[in-house]
Amino acid sequence: MEEKIKQLSIEEKVGQMFIIGINKTNPISLIKEYISRDKVGGILLYKKNYKNQEELVKLVNSIKEINAKNPIPIFIATDQEGGRVNRMPKEFLNLPSAYRLAQYQEEDLVEQARRNCG
């Protein structure tokens, strides 16, 4: 990976420093532009970008396909805090927030939440 980074232009290196979010439904045209033109390092997904698990999977796969020509893999993220801040489709288990888990100060509850993640 280090060798691939060395081969990037300065513009591509700067682009890799950015993770961008798109504030719209069906953001694929903007994502394509940012990946192709600006070589962004990552995409931040919001709940408004997809309606369900199927659309989320399709969107993630589309992002990876668009980025396939770039030498550096793209970082795909979401601001998933758990609890009342839930940006995942309803098909995903909504875990308590880290703050809520920490209030109980019981390691077994944290371990149980971790096991529920997958």
Q: What is the pTM of this model?
A: 0.74
Show the tokens assigned to 79. 């601001």
- Burial zone of 89 (CB within 10 Å; 0-12 exposed, 13-18 middle, 19+ buried): middle
**pLDDT digits 0-9 by tens, 13-69:** 999 999 999 888 878 999 999 999 999 999 999 888 888 889 989 999 999 999 999
The per-residue DSSP string of 58-99 comes to: HHHHHHHHHHTTSSSPPEEEE---BTTB--S-TTS--PPPHH
Angstrom distance (rounded) from CA 89 to CA 96: 15
Task: Break the chain into its structural domains and give their ranges.
Answer: 2-116
